A and B are shown apart, each in its own frame.
Chain A
Amino acid sequence: MSKQYDVIIIGAGHNGLVCATYLAKTGRSVLMVEANKQVGGAAITREFSPGYSVSACAHLLHLFHPQIVSDLSLTNHGLKLAATDLHTIALAADGDHLTLTRNSVNGNGLSASDRTAYSEFQNKLRRFARIMQKTFMVRPPRLVHKNMTDLMNLAKLGLSVRMLGRDDMRELLRIGAINIFDVLQEDFQSELLKGVMGFDAVLGSNLGPRSPNTILTYLYRLTGQLHSNGSAISVPSGGMGAVTSSLRAAAEAAGVEIRTDMPVKQVLLDVDTVTGIETNSGEQINSAIVVSNADPKTTFLKLVGARNIETGFVRRIDNIRMQGKAAKLHLALDGKPKFKGVDENQLGHRIVIAPSLTYVERAFDHSKYGEYSNHPAMEISIPTIHDDSLAPTGKHVLSAIIQYAPYDLRAGWESQRESFKQLIVDKLAEYAPGIKDQISASELMVPPDIEKEFNIHGGHWHHGEYTLDQFMMLRPVPGAAQYATPVNGLYLCGAGSHPGGGVMGLAGRNASIEILLREKVA
C-alpha cells in the first residue's frame, strides 16, 4: 500500500480537474488518476496528422462558467481566448446564409417579422434559461428528505418561476416539456432560420427537432449566454486543450497530484464503503473518499460493479439513456476553404449546415433505425483562422460535429466509417465546392471511437441524455443526484451529474462543495 490521500479522483476531465482544485485549495491531499496520457477528457487538443492539431472532441467554448475562471485564476494559469463572441453562420445552398448573434439575425431575404421574432424569442427564452441557470450553481434538491437547504433551493426555484409574471410563466409551462419543431413553427417563417435554431436544440443529443425535451436542451444551450462576460461562443487559444491545461496548472499549483496513463480498474470497497482504488496495473491506493469523473455507467457498472450495489439502483443506472449520436470530423486543409457566399472574415465564426427543420428531422430519422444520416447536419469550426499554433503556416484545420451517427450502426462502423466520411465531405463540398482538393489528411470519429478514446460509455456528449427524466434531481438517477452515491465515500463529479455536460465545470465545482459539506476530512 502506498501513500494515503484524503481524496482520489478517477479521471482528469475538466470537471475532475475543477473538483480536485477546489478540494485541494482547502488543504486536502488529492490524487487524480487518469486513464489517458493527457488530462482533459473530452476537452483536449491533439494532433491528428503530423503538424495538424485540433480540439479532439469539444471544440467551441460556450458554457464555461466565469466563476470557475476567476475562482481558480485560470487566466494566470495560461487560459487565453483566441476569439470570443462568435456568430453563427447558417449556410444556404445558394450562398444566401444567415448570421445569428445573441439578439439579431441577418441575411438576404429574411423577413422583417422573422428578425423581430428572433430577438423577441431569444429574449423570452433567455428569461426562462435564467431560471434554469440559477439551479446550476447548487445541488439539485431532493424531494423526500425535507432537508432545509433543499427546501430553500426548491422554494427559490418556485419563486423565480412565479416572478416571471403570469404570461411568461404560462408560456414556460406550455412549452417547457414539448419540442422545438412545433414552437418554432409558431413564430418563424424562414426554413433556414428554423433549421439552425432547431439544430442548436439537438446538438449533442439523441433527439430530433420533433422530439420532446428539445426546448429544455435549447434553454440549456442559452444558459451560456447569460454569463457575466456574455461571451456566448469562443475559441480558446491552443484549442480546447488549453482550457484543461490551465486547469491542470491550477490544480498542480493547489497541490493536486496527477497521474496519467493509469486506468482505474476498480473502486475498492469494504462491503458498501470506499477504501480506495485499484489500477489496471494492480496498484492499490487508499482513500476514504473517491470521486468519479467517469460517466455513471462506467462508474457503477464497471468500477464499482453491479454486484456491490443494490438491484433497484443498478437497474436505474442500467436504464440511463446515453447513446452518442454525434461524430467528429477533422480535416487538414492546404488553404482556407471557401464557402459559397461566406467572406473571409466570417470564416472564423461558427458555421452550421442545417437548412431546415425537416432536414434535421430526416437526418435524425435515419439514426433511429441504426443508419447514419444521408444528409447530415453539422457544426463547423476553423480554429486556425484565429490561432496559428494548430497547423503549419498558411494551412488550416477544420473541425466539425456531425449529426447523426448512431452508436450502434446496424451495418457496423468498421465497414462504414470510410463511406460516411466520404458522404460528409461530399455534403461539405456542396457548400464549399473546392474543399475536396484542399484536404491533405482527415479523421472521422464516430461514437464508438469517442467511447474508446475518452472512456465515455456510449460516447455520449453529456454522459447521459439531457432530458426531463434525467434532469436535476433525476440526474443521473435518483439516489445519486447530489453527487453522493449509495456507496459510502463515493461521489460523482462529471457531466452525468447536475447540471450536465459541455465544457462548463459546474458539475465538478458543485461536487466539491457537496463533498466538503458531507465529509469532515482532517
Chain B
Amino acid sequence: MTVREADKRVLQTPFHSRTSALCETNLWSPWKAYTVVDCYSVLTNEYFAIRNATAVFDLTPMTKYRITGKDGLAYLDKLMTRKMGKLSPGRVMYSVWCNDLGHVLDDGTVFHLKENHWRLCSQERHLDWLLATAMGFDVDIDDETDDVTGLAVQGPTSCQTLKTMNLQGVENLKPFQLKYFPFDGTELMVSRTGFTGDLGYELWIAPAHAETLWDALFAAGKPYGILPIGTHALDIVRIEAGFIQAGVDFVPALEVVRAGRGRSPFELGLDWLVQFDKPVFNGRKALLEEKEKGSRYRFVRLDVEGNKPANESFIYNGKKEIVGHVTSATWSPSAKMNIALASLDMPWGRTDDEIYTEVYYNRELQWNRLMARCRVVGGAFFDPPRRRKTPPLNY
C-alpha cells in the first residue's frame, strides 16, 4: 500500500532525496508539515562539525512570510517590539513580536531583501495575526514557506566552503547582512545568520534548485569536513549560544490556553529588543506598564554544578522553596559546562542568589536525586570571536 499524493499529511523537503540517503539512523521528526532528520549518524560528530568544521542543516520548514509594499517598514515597526526603521536593504534583524498583553507570539528574523520587499522567518505560523496587523498599511503579506527552501551552513570552515563554491565576496558579509549570488541560472540569497552562535550562513533558493545547491555545497565542502546535521545537534549549540526556542523556552502567546502562561520579552531576558521610542507597536501599553510595575519572571542562563543535565528540573532557593524551572538544559562540550536556561519567579535569579536545581538521574535502575548549585551566567555560554570576525579566518 502506498499513500496517495493527495492524502499525504507529511511533506518532504526539496532536499529529501539527499537527506534521506545520508540518514543512517532513520531518526526523523515532524517540523510543521515537514519531516526532518533528528540525527544522521552519530550525534557527537554532528555537534563537532558545527563547532570545528562545516555543518549543513535543512531549514526548509521554517515559516516564511513575504512582506511587500511601501508601508513595509512602518508595518514591521508596529508588528515588532524592536525599532525596525534601521533595517536597510541587505540587512537582517532579529526581534520578537507580541500580542496586546505584551506576551511574545514568537521570535524570528526579518530580512530586508530588496527595496520594499522583506521576509519574516519564524518558528510558528502567524498569517492571521500578520494580516490583522496589516490593517491600515499599504502592504501585502503572503506565506512563502513552500516557495523558498533554506540550508544553514554553519561552522568555522563554512566561509571557506562557500568560497570554494565560487560565491565571490561571501567573506565580506558581516553578521546580519545578506547578498545575492548567481547560481544555477537563478539567484541564491546568502545571509550571515544562524541559530548556532558560531560563524555561519544561511542559503535561500527556490525549491527547483535545491538538489543542485546541496550537491554543489557538499562537493565544495569536502575538504572542510562538511557534514549534514539534524535537530538534536542543533539543539545543543543553540542552548550553548543562549538562544530561546518557541514552544520550549516559552509558549507562543497564541497557543496559551491558561491565562498568564505567556511570557513578555522582559520575562525572556530580551529587554534589548523592546524599544519604546517609536510609533505604537503591539504590546506597547502592556510592556510600558510592566516596565513600571515589574515583571513576573526572570529568564536566566545557568551554570549547573556537576555534569548531569538538569532537564525539566525545578529550581529552589536556599530555603528549599520552588522558585522556577529549567526550560532547556544540556552538557556543553565547548564551554565544558553543565548549562541550562531557566524561568524564575521574581525576584529570583539575581547574580548572587543562592539557587539549586533538582536533578534526577538513573544509574542501572537506581534513581538518584541531586541538589546542584547554580550560578547565573551573564552572556552566551559559548561565544567565539569568529562569530563576528569579517572576513573570517581560514581554518
Q: Show the binding face of A for B, using Cβ within 8 Å.
A: 271-272, 301, 305-315, 318, 486
Contact = CB atoms under 8 A, between A and B. Distances in A.
Interface of B is mostly: loop
Given A272-B285, A486-B285, A309 B280 contact: yes
B279 A307 contact: yes
A305 B282 contact: no
Nearest to A315: B132
A309 B283 CA distance: 10
Contacts of A272: 280, 284-285
Contacts of B132: 311, 314-315, 318
Given A271-B279, A301-B135, A318-B135, A310 B285 contact: yes
A310 B74 contact: no
Contacts of B135: 301, 306, 311, 314, 318
Interface in B131-154: 132-133, 135-137
Contacts of B181: none
Nearest to A144: B259
A76 B280 CA distance: 47
B99 interface: yes
A271 B281 CA distance: 10
A312 B280 contact: no
A310 B289 CA distance: 15
Given A271-B279, A301-B136, A310 B284 contact: yes
A311 B100 contact: yes
Nearest to A302: B136
Per CB-CB distance, the 9 closest pairs between chain A and chain B, nearest first, are A306-B136, A312-B100, A306-B135, A307-B136, A311-B133, A310-B100, A315-B132, A310-B282, A311-B282
A313 B280 CA distance: 12
B119 interface: no
A307 B74 contact: yes
A304 to B, nearest CB: 10
A4 B141 CA distance: 42
Contacts of A309: 280
Interface in B87-115: 99-101
Mostly helix, strand, loop or mixed at chain A's interface? helix
Given A271-B279, A313-B100, A314-B135, A307 B284 contact: no
Contacts of A312: 99-101, 282
B361 interface: no
A308 B279 contact: yes
A246 to B, nearest CB: 39
A272 B282 CA distance: 12
Contacts of B283: 310
B136 A310 contact: no
A307 B78 contact: yes
B221 to A, nearest CB: 43
Interface in B227-282: 279-282
Contacts of B74: 307
A315 B100 CA distance: 11
B100 A307 contact: no
Contacts of A271: 279-280
Contacts of A308: 279-280
B278 to A, nearest CB: 8
Contacts of A318: 132, 135
A301 B132 CA distance: 12
A220 to B, nearest CB: 30
Most buried by B among A307, A308, A314: A307
B72 to A, nearest CB: 13
B291 to A, nearest CB: 15
Contacts of B279: 271, 307-308
28 contacts: A271-B279, A271-B280, A272-B285, A305-B136, A306-B135, A306-B137, A307-B74, A307-B137, A308-B280, A310-B100, A310-B280, A310-B281, A310-B283, A310-B284, A310-B285, A311-B78, A311-B79, A311-B99, A311-B129, A311-B132, A311-B133, A311-B135, A312-B99, A314-B135, A314-B136, A318-B132, A318-B135, A486-B285
Nearest to B136: A306
A338 B19 CA distance: 87
Contacts of B282: 310-312
Nearest to A317: B135
Given A272-B280, A305-B136, 9 more contacts: A271-B279, A271-B280, A307-B136, A307-B137, A307-B280, A308-B279, A311-B132, A311-B133, A314-B132
Nearest to B74: A307
A306 B136 CA distance: 5
Interface centre among A310, A312, A313, A315 (most CB of B within 10 A): A310
A310 B97 CA distance: 12
Interface in B51-108: 74, 78-79, 99-101
A479 to B, nearest CB: 8
A310 B133 CA distance: 8
Nearest to B281: A310
A461 to B, nearest CB: 25
A314 B135 CA distance: 8
B134 to A, nearest CB: 9
- The interface centre, meaning the residue of A307, A308, A309, A311 with most chain B CB atoms within 10 A of its CB, is A311
Interface in B160-215: none
A510 B135 CA distance: 31
A192 B132 CA distance: 46
B285 to A, nearest CB: 6
A4 to B, nearest CB: 24
A317 to B, nearest CB: 9
Contacts of A486: 285
B315 to A, nearest CB: 30
Contacts of B99: 311-312
Contacts of A306: 135-137
A312 B284 CA distance: 12
Nearest to B105: A311
A305 B137 CA distance: 10
Nearest to A269: B280
A327 B307 CA distance: 77
Nearest to B283: A310
Contacts of A313: 100
A414 to B, nearest CB: 28
A314 B101 CA distance: 14
A309 B74 CA distance: 13
A486 to B, nearest CB: 6
A305 B135 CA distance: 9
A306 B133 CA distance: 8
A314 B78 CA distance: 12
User: Of B137, B279, B280, which is in contact with the most chain A CB atoms at under 10 Å from its CB?
Assistant: B280
Contacts of A301: 135-136
A128 to B, nearest CB: 32
Nearest to A314: B135
A9 B133 CA distance: 28
B383 to A, nearest CB: 35
A318 B78 CA distance: 17
A306 B78 CA distance: 10
Contacts of B100: 310-313
Interface string B282-296: 111100000000000
Contacts of A314: 132-133, 135-136
Contacts of B280: 271-272, 307-310
A325 B129 CA distance: 31
A362 to B, nearest CB: 37
Contacts of B101: 312
